Amino acid sequence: MDTTTPPLACVPGTPCDVTVLTWNMHKGRDAKRRPVDLGRLAEALASVQADVLLLQEVFHAWTGVSQSGELARRLDMHAAYVPNARYARGHHGNATLASAALPLVRHRDISTNAYEHRGLLHVHFELPGRPHIHVMNTHLGLNAVQRRRQVHGIARFVAEHVPPGEPWVLGGDFNDWTMRLDAHVVRRLRAQNLMAGHGWRARCTYPVRRPLLPLDRLYAHGLHVEEASVLRGEPWTSLSDHLPIRARLVWPTLGVG
């Protein structure tokens, strides 16, 4: 038996929760494409007190600003970033920020064509005093057939890199405005949609001023959801074109359940 392997459940009486937020931050621009000060973004994110931030459309200039690096510095968090789209003035992609070090970072290209680049960012880490966890961050394509193929790619990645029984979280912008992909994700990945207990309107994250579409998602496996909600109102309505989802999850407790 490998005694260095972290436990997959919590000892009774110890802290055993993790707070996760997913948010498409629109390259640091509001719904009218006006630049938003990174200090305001950091202040809003700090107020959530999340252990893990899954951010999509994070912008990096070729020279100068690195949004994931600057947010990590301001929030005193560790960051992993991989670009998906590259262009003249820089690139953007997915960034995962965590309050603990990220010793293992992987990326899988899940693009289905040469024009629309999509990726899955995977980190594996431990929060102080808690079991280890796998967290995956993605931004799926604009076409329904694409998205279904990309979910198959994510399922293959999980089968290859997440040992059976280990807990994981998957979040991001799924671009699934009809919710038709949801049942496929739940079935294919044996996952729970953390907003499943909410009605349609409560799940909607886009557009910020009058949310009508549930584009953004948080899924989990091997964890219990204590609470999950879309964050509405200010400051979120003036920071991006999407609203974030925040959830608090708990590990199973040893000897319970």
- CA–CA dist 231, 185 (Å, integer): 23
**What pLDDT is recorded for position 257?**
46
pLDDT tens, residue by residue, 134-164: 999 999 999 999 999 999 999 999 999 999 9
The yes/no answer on whether domain 17-250 falls in CATH 3.70.10.10 is no
CB atoms under 10 Å from CB of 256, counted, come to 8
Secondary structure of residue 2 in the 3-state scheme: coil
pLDDT tens, residue by residue, 50-72: 999 999 999 999 988 899 999 99
Instruction: Give me 71's structure tokens.
Output: 């947010």
Closest CA to 205 of 42, 56, 33, 37: 56
pLDDT tens, residue by residue, 176-197: 999 999 999 999 999 999 999 9
**What pLDDT is recorded for position 2?**
37
- Residues 245, 22: contact at Cβ < 8 Å? yes
> Looking only at Cα atoms, what is the longest distance across the chain?
56
- Residues 216, 206: contact at Cβ < 8 Å? yes
Termini Cα distance of the chain: 24
**What pLDDT is recorded for position 64?**
81
Q: What is the DSSP letter of 94?
A: E
**What pLDDT is recorded for position 4?**
40
Angle between helices 144-161 and 182-189 (to 10 degrees): 20
- Residues 92, 25: contact at Cβ < 8 Å? no
Does the pTM of the predicted model rise above 0.85?
Answer: yes
Where exactly are the structural domains of the chain? 17-250
Residue ranges, the chain, pLDDT below 70:
1-9, 11-15, 254-257
